[in-house]
Amino acid sequence: MKSSIHILCFVLFLIVIGLNFSFSQSKYHSYDELTKEITSLVSSNKNIASVSSLSKTPDKHDLWCVTVGGKDADKRHAMLIVGGVEGDRLIGSELTLGFLNFLLKNYGKIDSITQLVNTTTFYILPRVNPDASEQFFRKPLYNRTVNGNPTDDDRDGLIDEDSFEDLNSDGIISMMRVKDSRGEWMPHPDDPRIMKKADASKGEVGIYKLYTEGIDNDGDEIWNEDDLGGVDFNRNFPHNYQFFSKGAGPYQISEPETRAVAEFCFAHPNIAIVFAFSSNDNLLNTWKKEQRQGPPQQQDQRSGRRRMSDDEDFAPRILTSVMDDDEQYYNFIGKQYQELTKFKGVPASSKGEGAFNEWAYYHFGRWSFAANPWWIPEIEIKKDSALSDTTKKQPDRKNRSMEKPENKFGKPGEEKSDEYADQIKALKWIDANGIKDGFLNWTKIKHKDFPDNEVEVGGFKPFILTNPPADSIDVIAAKENSFLAWLAGRLPKVDIANVKVEPVNGKVFRLTAEIANTGYFPTNSAMGNKARWGRNVKVTLGINKNQKISSGKPFTIIEPVKGSGGIQELVWTIISGPGETVIISAESPAVGIASKTVTLK
């Protein structure tokens, strides 16, 4: 409780700062604008920031990576922050850019930020799927999540042969409804602009067929099933990867973007935390461990048959829910985030199938957090931003947790009681805020594929449901920035404490030392310890030529040390001349280094 208050104070302080130093970012940046912004930010902060391109995308965009942390950045423990893993959610990309801005502009001005940047490295990847995001700035406008790599989405041997068409020439790809008594769709009784599937159990009858806007270019009687591109960054990672599904790519990490990011991760063992803006969120929908299945069944020892292995029944035990020892940390961090943001009406986390942030935990073995920064706010909020309003309200924790959907990780995206409620909510929000063209009213067109039917084009404007109005980015950013800065301060720190020398006699000494962790997170997550890619702390006892270790090891790799003062004790006996020294050092890239010179006497 005490620490909670402490955190809230710190965060409130940062929010005030964040707002005072707000760098008006009330726009979405195209790739060129993003590039310009990054270049100018880095060039005016050369002492602490550098930029590199991790790869070229199929559409020849650079995958920018900004390192904040100065000369020895790769030697300090680090946090990796990734924006735009979902190409159609540009808000995440803007918030990542916003955090970069926040760090650079406040460095040297606010002590806590200066201190943070001096001790912790930030690797910031503002937009990892620029090919998809660029569609936000192009015509026709449509929600795109895939890169520019041409793929045969419908697996018919033809590539990108049936894309969308802007039939009413409004520069936007929306939906298309065709009046047809064989159709399954009907206008929603609560708001006829919304199309819903007719429910036979309620006696409803469909009168429309519903498609995305376009023609059937390849004449296969499926509309727009093989559009331009591509592979979805957030479906291409190995965790829960779905082979042969649209957007997943030919195989795991097949794309230049995903490969570059994965390779970057493995090349930087100092990364302790991975953070991404994503609807596959685990800060509001905190990861819960699943009931484990019982131990694998005992083998029946069949005799009379030669077996080369007793492992016949061995099935892969790939973890799909958070490990027991790690759950509490996800709970705590999630709770802080929830208290800080006071988000209401939290949507369920999207289904993770090849998602980056899940990979970062389950495979890369790092603390991995993902935040869904925005969704259509509740309608009672009058102004265009949910956040400015909710900050005034008293937090009502009980209520909040009541509202939170019980969305157990592993079975996300369960059907809600009314799947159209969100759309109705969105319409109300659009109407209440007078958002122009937020919903494109159904308008008649002529369609060559349906010469005898009434065809109308309309629906939600692309991107509107997942990206807030540009003028509310700042307010969202202030909170996310505070959270990220606070989170980065939770990294583990190693210390050598309670060093004790006991002379057994004048020539033999027993040396005891505690390897302590004064940070919040353990020196490795249970998952990292299991997955192997995150290194554990290595303790080295440095001796001179005349000394000899007679018990204990010169190098010891120790199990993860819990945070907030967790310790592990090590004991050596050393044969040494009295008054001579040894050096104890403890180190891991994601934790840092500590060392102590000890005189044996």
Partner 1 sequence: MIRMIEKIGIILCLLFGMINYSTAKVEKELTKSSLKALGAPNNPKVEVIWNRYYDSKEIGEICKRISEAYPKLAKFNSIGKSYEGRDIWLLTISNSEKGDPDKKPAMYIDGNIHGNEIQGGEVSLYTGWYLAEMYGHLDWITQLVDEKTFYIIPTINPDGRDHFMHDANSPNSPRSGFDPRDDDGDGLIDEDGDDDLNGDGNITQMRIKDPNGRWVIDPEDPRIMLPAKPDQKGEYELLWSEGIDNDGDGLVNEDDPGSYDPNRNWHWKWAPQYVQWGADRYPGSLPETRAVVDFVFKHNNIAAFQTYHNSGGMILRGPGNKDDQQTYRREDLQVYDFLGKLGEEILPGYRYLIVFKDLYPVFGGELDFFYGVRGGITFSNELWTSFDYFRKKQDEERNWFGSQKETYRFDKLLLFGEGVVDWKPYNHPQYGMIEIGGIKKAWTRTAPSFMLEEMCHRNMAFTLYNAYHTPQVSVDSIFTKELPGGLTEVTAIIKNSRVIPTHTSQDIQNKITRPDYVSISGGKVLMGGIVEDRLTGLVKDQKRNPEKIEVEAIPGMEAVFVKWIVDGKKPFVVNVDSEKGGKDSKQLK
Q: How far is the CB of 497 from partner 1 (least distance, A)?
A: 22
Between vectors from CA 439 to CA 433 and to CA 441, what angle results, nearest 5°?
130
What DSSP string runs through 279-307?
SS-STTTT--PPPPPPPPPPPP---SS--
DSSP strand E in 387-507: where?
A: 439-445, 455-460, 494-503
* Exposure string for 165-196, b = 16+ CB within 10 A, e = fewer: bbbbebebbbbbbbebeebbbbebeeeebbbb
Residues 438-467 that bind partner 1 (CB under 8 A): none
Nearer to partner 1, 319 or 508 (CB): 319
Under the binding rule (CB under 8 A), the answer on residue 296 touching partner 1 is: no
List Cα–Cα distances, 425 to 130, 377, 381, in angstroms: 30, 8, 12
Nearer to partner 1, 554 or 577 (CB): 554
Between vectors from CA 347 to CA 343 and to CA 352, what angle results, nearest 5°?
125
Per CB under 8 A, the list member of 421, 504, 557, 571 interacting with partner 1 is 557
Under the binding rule (CB under 8 A), the answer on residue 555 touching partner 1 is: yes
Nearer to partner 1, 133 or 536 (CB): 536
Cβ contacts of 68-72, under 8 Å, gap ≥ 24 = 68/100, 68/103, 68/104, 68/117, 68/121, 68/122, 68/124, 69/117, 69/120, 69/121, 69/122, 70/117, 70/118
Nearer to partner 1, 308 or 402 (CB): 308
Under the binding rule (CB under 8 A), the answer on residue 244 touching partner 1 is: yes
Under the binding rule (CB under 8 A), the answer on residue 75 touching partner 1 is: no
Nearer to partner 1, 224 or 536 (CB): 536
Q: How far is the CB of 308 from partner 1 (least distance, A)?
A: 5
Cβ contacts of 74-77, under 8 Å, gap ≥ 24 = 74/121, 74/268, 74/270, 75/270, 75/589, 76/119, 76/120, 76/121, 76/270, 76/592, 77/120, 77/121, 77/270, 77/272, 77/491, 77/492, 77/589, 77/590, 77/591, 77/592
Per CB under 8 A, the list member of 428, 538, 562, 596 interacting with partner 1 is 538
Cα gap 498→463, rounded to integer Å: 57
Per CB under 8 A, the list member of 536, 547, 568, 576 interacting with partner 1 is 536
Indicate the length of the chain as a whole number. Answer: 601
Residues 372-431 that bind partner 1 (CB under 8 A): none
Nearer to partner 1, 140 or 249 (CB): 249
Q: How far is the CB of 93 from partner 1 (least distance, A)?
A: 24
Q: How far is the CB of 44 from partner 1 (least distance, A)?
A: 36
Task: Tell me whether residue 394 is exposed, middle or buried, using C-beta atoms within 10 angstroms of its C-beta: 0 to 12, 13 to 18, 19 or more.
Answer: exposed
Identify which of 268, 409, 422, 404 has the alpha carbon closest to the alpha carbon of residue 330. Answer: 409
Under the binding rule (CB under 8 A), the answer on residue 262 touching partner 1 is: yes
Nearer to partner 1, 291 or 555 (CB): 555
Q: How far is the CB of 269 from partner 1 (least distance, A)?
A: 8
DSSP strand E in 482-528: where?
A: 494-503, 508-517
Per CB under 8 A, the list member of 33, 199, 311, 396 interacting with partner 1 is 311
Q: Is the preceding omega at residue 365 within 30 degrees of 0, hence cis?
A: no
Per CB under 8 A, the list member of 9, 318, 504, 583 interacting with partner 1 is 318
Nearer to partner 1, 372 or 536 (CB): 536
Helices (runs of H) and strands (runs of E) counted in the chain: 13, 20
Under the binding rule (CB under 8 A), the answer on residue 489 touching partner 1 is: no
Tokens 């980056």 locate to 356
Nearer to partner 1, 250 or 565 (CB): 250
Per CB under 8 A, the list member of 238, 405, 469, 489 interacting with partner 1 is 238
User: Cβ contacts of residue 507 below 8 Å, gap of 6+?
Assistant: 575, 576, 577, 578
Q: How far is the CB of 589 from partner 1 (least distance, A)?
A: 7
For the chain, report the end-to-end CA distance as a whole number of angstroms.
Answer: 44
User: Cβ contacts of residue 401 below 8 Å, gap of 6+?
Assistant: none
Residues 136-165 that bind partner 1 (CB under 8 A): 155-157
Under the binding rule (CB under 8 A), the answer on residue 553 touching partner 1 is: yes
Q: With contacts defined by CB under 8 A, how many residues of the chain interact with partner 1?
A: 45
Per CB under 8 A, the list member of 220, 325, 339, 449 interacting with partner 1 is 220
Under the binding rule (CB under 8 A), the answer on residue 12 touching partner 1 is: no
Contact region for partner 1 (CB under 8 A) — 16-24, 238-246, 384-392, 503-511?
238-246
Per CB under 8 A, the list member of 300, 315, 394, 446 interacting with partner 1 is 315
The rounded Cα 581 to chain-centroid distance in angstroms is 47
Provide the angle, in degrees to the nearest 10, between the axes of the packed helices 90-106 and 111-119.
100
Under the binding rule (CB under 8 A), the answer on residue 307 touching partner 1 is: yes
Contact region for partner 1 (CB under 8 A) — 166-174, 286-294, 316-324, 474-482?
316-324
**Which residue type is seen at 209?**
K
Under the binding rule (CB under 8 A), the answer on residue 535 touching partner 1 is: yes
Q: How far is the CB of 319 from partner 1 (least distance, A)?
A: 8
Under the binding rule (CB under 8 A), the answer on residue 308 touching partner 1 is: yes
Q: How far is the CB of 222 from partner 1 (least distance, A)?
A: 11
Under the binding rule (CB under 8 A), the answer on residue 293 touching partner 1 is: no
Under the binding rule (CB under 8 A), the answer on residue 13 touching partner 1 is: no
Under the binding rule (CB under 8 A), the answer on residue 583 touching partner 1 is: no
Q: Is the dihedral of CA 146, 85, 470, 345 positive or negative?
A: positive
Per CB under 8 A, the list member of 115, 242, 266, 399 interacting with partner 1 is 266
Q: How far is the CB of 473 from partner 1 (least distance, A)?
A: 34
DSSP classification of residue 416 = P
Nearer to partner 1, 89 or 363 (CB): 363
Residue numbers at the binding site for partner 1 (CB under 8 A): 155-157, 218-221, 238, 243-244, 250-254, 262, 266, 306-309, 311-318, 362-363, 530-533, 535-536, 538, 553-555, 557, 587-589
